[in-house]
Structure 1
Amino acid sequence: MTQPRHVLVVGGTSGIGLEVARFFAGEGDDVVLTGRDAERAESAAKDLNGTARGIALELTDVDAIASALTGLERVDHLVLAAVDRDHNTVADYNTAAARSLATLKLVGYTEVVHALLPRMNDDASIVVFGGLAKDRPYPGSTTVSTVNGGVIGMVHTMASELAPIRTNAIHPGIVGDSPFWTGKPAEVLEGFRSRTPTGRLASMADVVDAVVFLLRNPSVNGVNLPVDGGWLLR
């Protein structure tokens, strides 16, 4: 019988992060999820199963990350799924919002790995969340596009520096049933769907399946994987 794995999902209180945590909890793994608020993280974990745990972690407070993670003795699978939404343009640039998002993903993500590295074995694996704004910017995506472009360099660097620990990234397209997109007008979603070769938008289940693949396949390393149904082709 396969031994339970120790899984940490950073940003696991809602949306795709929560669904990733739910999958591994259902597999019988030892799951810890994080959120900015301790009570919310504990509540989300309690809804998964009797063994999942929730802890508070604020990625923009980078100097407190290591102490927030001291209770974890081992990590086999690390999923960095926490994200902020930042609508920011060059013409009307909000430096505080830009600094917060860049710190969260580029510095915060890396500091989590740095803090946990002594507790990760050679067969451990990491999945980082980016996004397709790196390839297809839109008005207001100044920081989002820049930061998600930086995820590519982060993954390549970590895959090289941390070997044999594997590091990959997932870059979801429009995830139609995610909390952010599900409330959008039907015509907006149809506009994206009509330009997707598969004729359907990605679902949270599709993204979870891709995360599991990246974490478990021992020969996949340094990959930036789009999950978009081929949307970037059109």
Structure 2
Amino acid sequence: MHASALNGQMIVILGGSSGLGLATARLAIQEGARVYIGARNAEQLAQVLVDLGPNAAGATLEIGEEASVNAFFKGIDHMDHLVITAANNAPARLLEGSLEQLRISMDSRFWGAVMAIRAAVPLMPEHGSIVMTSGMVSLRPRPAMSVVAAAASAVESLARSLVSELAPRRINVINPGPMHTPLLSSVLDDAALQKLATQLPLGKLGTGEDYAQAALFALSNAYLNGSTIHLNGGAAWA
């Protein structure tokens, strides 16, 4: 199977109004799929849906809140695949940050994924699949990122653990390294982004399109299951 196998299928993308999720939505539509996007910002979502055209629809979603997740999926009567890129990372030192701050990453990335999967799977046929997103921080954590790293690692463990429970539906994870997205650009200026790129083995940052290609491969490859795709240009091992 290959990406064209997604022609005519419905892909739900959580976090699909910017960055990795938006790139995935664009490529999926190019491959003939329809997309249904969940995003926090209603105004941004509305503009994105206009830009993507008639094969895109969506609704607002707060990934860490059960009521919001359930309400979002009630607006869907059928779906073939789920891609989760949405998460709220909240760096904080373990001994100094409040428990409320420390819980944000786990509540959104891990528990948000759990809630989304519980709501999505009953809407999926047997050929359905799920792609979750972790992060290179699971391999190379830094100070103040301990719980962020733990949440990313938990997502990967969850995927492996659900292989039997969800079968014959498939579940996989993409673990991206540094990616040139609006989120990263909001933290680092152009000079800092360029400096970061020069420190990487390939001399460049990943892009949303790189992630999208990996996501569509995971959705369409019928034998990929319980796997984590490390999409970091070798940065994790350098």
TM-score norm. by structure 1 comes to 0.92
The match for 1:181 is: 184
SS at 2:118 equivalent: helix
SS at 2:131 equivalent: strand
- Contact kept? 2:90, 2:104, Cα under 8 Å: no
Q: How far did residue 190 of structure 1 move?
A: 4.5
- Contact kept? 2:91, 2:102, Cα under 8 Å: no
- CA displacement 1:102-159 (0-9 Å, x = unmatched): 1112112111111121210111111001101111011221221110011111111222
Q: How far did residue 83 of structure 1 move?
A: 1.6
The match for 2:171 is: 167
Which residue of 214, 218, 229 corresponds with 2:218?
214
For 2:149, the aligned partner's letter is S
Q: How far did residue 100 of structure 1 move?
A: 2.4
For 1:200, the aligned partner's letter is K
Whole-angstrom CA distance in 2 between matches of 1:20 and 1:95: 33
Q: Which has the higher contact order (CA 8 A, sep 6+)?
A: 2
Q: Which runs of 5+ in 1 are unaligned?
A: none
- Contact kept? 1:38, 1:54, Cα under 8 Å: no
1:203 aligns with 2:207: yes
Per the alignment, do residues 180 and 57 of structure 1 end up closer, same or farther by CA in structure 2, a change over 3 Å counting?
A: closer
Q: How far did residue 209 of structure 1 move?
A: 0.8
- CA displacement 1:20-69 (0-9 Å, x = unmatched): 11111223322110112334323221210123112011122213422321
Say what the alpha-carbon RMSD is for the aligned residues.
1.9
- Contact kept? 1:32, 1:45, Cα under 8 Å: no
The match for 1:26 is: 30
SS at 1:58 equivalent: coil
The match for 1:4 is: 8
1:118 aligns with 2:122: yes
Q: Which runs of 5+ in 2 are unaligned?
A: none
Q: How far did residue 230 of structure 1 move?
A: 0.5
Which residue of 39, 50, 57 corresponds with 1:53?
57
- Contact kept? 1:46, 1:53, Cα under 8 Å: no
Whole-angstrom CA distance in 2 between matches of 1:214 and 1:180: 24
Whole-angstrom CA distance in 2 between matches of 1:145 and 1:115: 25
Sequence identity (%): 27
SS at 2:58 equivalent: strand
Does 70-79 or 41-50 show the bigger shift?
41-50
- Contact kept? 2:13, 2:83, Cα under 8 Å: yes
TM-score norm. by structure 2 comes to 0.90
Whole-angstrom CA distance in 2 between matches of 1:9 and 1:160: 23
The match for 1:73 is: 77
Q: How far did residue 185 of structure 1 move?
A: 4.1
Per the alignment, do residues 37 and 186 of structure 1 end up closer, same or farther by CA in structure 2, a change over 3 Å counting?
A: closer
Does 126-135 or 204-213 show the bigger shift?
204-213
The match for 2:159 is: 155
Does 183-192 or 158-167 show the bigger shift?
183-192
